[in-house]
Amino acid sequence: MARKKAAVDFEQSLAELHQLVERLEGGELSLEDSLACFEQGIRLTRDCQAALGQAEQKV
């Protein structure tokens, strides 16, 4: 069950990251909103990298 939860968390974080990239690439956000999205993207990227690192350790 933990493996499935981790996969769901990874997939959810990756989907959120894709949405953020689309919003940023749209170019309609204010500078403040863009910065907030960028910071959230950094957090999501780190979460995804950590999940991948854990999966790699298991293999």
| 49: Cα separation from own chain's centroid | 9
Query: pLDDT for 17-46, tens place per residue?
Result: 999 999 999 999 999 999 999 999 999 999
Mean pLDDT of 2-17: 79
Q: What does pTM read for this prediction?
A: 0.78
Place of tokens 């990227």: 45
pLDDT at 4: 61
For the stretch 29-37, contacts whose Cβ atoms lie closer than 8 Å and that sit 24 or more positions apart, written own/partner, are none
CB distance 3 to 41 below 8 Å: no
Phi, psi of 46 (to 5 degrees): -65, -40
Q: How far apart are the first and last CA of the chain?
A: 17
